Amino acid sequence: MRLPKLFIPLFLFLSGIIIISTANPIIAQNGMQLNNAFPNLSFTQPLGLVSPDDGTNRIFVVTKPGEIYVFDNDPNIQSATLFLDIKGKVNDVGGEEGLLGLAFHPNFSENGYFFVDYTADSPRRTVIERYTVSEDDSNQADATSGYVILEVDQPYANHNGGQIGFGPDGYLYIALGDGGSGGDPEGHGQDRTTLLGAILRIDIDNTDAGLEYGIPDTNPFVDNTEGYREEIYAYGLRNPWRFSWDSETDAMWAADVGQGEVEEIDIIESGNNYGWNIMEGDQCYEPDTGCDTTGLSMPIWTYNHDVGSSITGGYVYRGSTYDNLVGKYIYGDFGSGKIWALDYDESSETNNEELFDTTYQISSFGVDSTNELYVVDFSGEIYILGDSNGVTTPTTPEPTDMMLGILLLGGGGILIFAVGAAFYMKKR
């Protein structure tokens, strides 16, 4: 039996006490470390870390309530600067709503353009909006420069996706979930006449008639006669939570959060159908047996909920700290806190190695200008894969609104459980 996905996190959310993640470095069995990258900094519900290719080596952190912070990539940094505050526009009431994505224009150092993905209300929708950096201060955005590029109506509060990023081709890619509830009741995953349940690709440097963007001529459904949305690059996705490109091969990787049993990793290619809701990962979903998989692209890796419950996509490692990880896809799970390295080569056996078993609520990964890898903990901290230039004793993080539940059971027993309830609702 499949329970509605909002039931469990809502139950946990209603139970309530604070959970604080450990800030001490974690040493894996193979000697690798995760350390607090910026011990003096802590953020409220961070969801992303982005470093623009502008030669400044700055770090930008995105937070769910609607703020973006900027600071120098220095482990001894004492404070972060508020870069943009759009809390007044962002609807973050629902667990899966908020400021979800940030992407810098490929020519950001010249034009100052950057783009955000957030949820708004009245009506409930996803908004892709362009902003410009202040002419007077490169660490301040011009909050009045917002220009809406795209809006997509959302039928429910969950499964909004939220990742945006510029690909090697210079186009903007946008991840949208299936629109929510549970099990894709409106069938968006397999419906190419809607933008939901898909990864879009648009040209933000040119416009087509009636649009604030252009549609690349090489998009797979351009000039179709079936009414399919030409913005779609790939479809059949449930709730893609973080995609990235291998900086060496340009392959596009994405993690798609499962319904109740299977989490998956996909290599995203133009025009492909990744199966939802015919399939959940590598298993039939609707129907639950004997489903027709003709024409579907299978995930390159899946795992069941005995090891994790809500996948967070990462990056193919191209840093210089650990040579043994180069070329492997580093990803994690928000529910279990585990971090793995996936060694994938379609011509040989795929191997998956557990690197860390943490207490973090892993909301995202990020890379800096040197391709070193960071882990974003929803409880407030940013960790680096490595020794953070020798910094190994981070400060204790401040409590956040993560929830720890205590449930009194019949007969005097007590059940204690912990979960980042609000964000867990977002990802499920």
Contact 218, 181 (CB under 8 A): no
Q: What is the mean pLDDT of the chain?
A: 88
Taking alpha carbons only, the member of 339, 308, 310, 342 closest to residue 325 is: 342
Domain identity same for 358 and 410:
no
Domain identity same for 73 and 1:
no
Give percent above pLDDT 70 in the chain. Answer: 85
Domain identity same for 12 and 102:
no
Strand pairing category for 329-333 and 311-316: antiparallel
What's the pLDDT at 388? 61
- Asked if the peptide bond before residue 389 counts as cis, ω within 30 degrees of 0, the response is no
Task: Name the one residue in this structure whose structure tokens are 């956040």.
Answer: 400
Q: What is the pLDDT of residues 258-307, one digit of tens each?
A: 999 999 999 999 999 999 999 999 999 999 999 999 999 999 999 999 99
Q: Which residues contact 332 (CB under 8 A, 6 or more apart)?
A: 311, 312, 314, 338, 339, 340, 360, 362, 365, 375
Domain identity same for 63 and 98:
yes
How far is 141 from 132, CA to CA, in rounded Å? 6
Mean pLDDT of 142-165: 98
What's the pLDDT at 79? 98
Domain identity same for 138 and 8:
no
Domain identity same for 11 and 35:
no
Beta-sheet strands, E only, within 75-140 = 81-85, 99-104, 113-120, 125-133
Contact 360, 420 (CB under 8 A): no
Q: What is the pLDDT of residues 132-145, one digit of tens each?
A: 999 999 999 999 99
CATH of the domain at 66: 2.120.10.30
Mean pLDDT of 157-172: 98
pLDDT band for position 31 (cuts 50, 70, 90): confident
Mean pLDDT of 112-131: 98
What's the pLDDT at 391? 40
Domain identity same for 341 and 409:
no
Domain that holds residue 412: 1-19+402-428
Number of domains in the chain: 2
How far is 51 from 371, CA to CA, in rounded Å? 10
What's the pLDDT at 428? 52
Centre a 10 Å sphere on the Cβ of residue 232 and count the other Cβ atoms it contains.
25
Strand pairing category for 301-304 and 329-333: unpaired
How far is 267 from 398, CA to CA, in rounded Å? 37
pLDDT band for position 77 (cuts 50, 70, 90): very high
- Asked if pLDDT for residue 16 goes beyond 90, the answer is no
- Asked if the peptide bond before residue 399 counts as cis, ω within 30 degrees of 0, the response is no
Mean pLDDT of 41-52: 98
Domain identity same for 270 and 251:
yes
Domain identity same for 156 and 298:
yes
Domain identity same for 291 and 325:
yes
Centre a 10 Å sphere on the Cβ of residue 405 and count the other Cβ atoms it contains.
18
Domain identity same for 76 and 140:
yes
Terminal C-alpha separation, the chain: 17
- Asked if pLDDT for residue 4 goes beyond 50, the answer is no
Domain identity same for 190 and 63:
yes
Q: Is the pTM of this model over 0.85?
A: yes
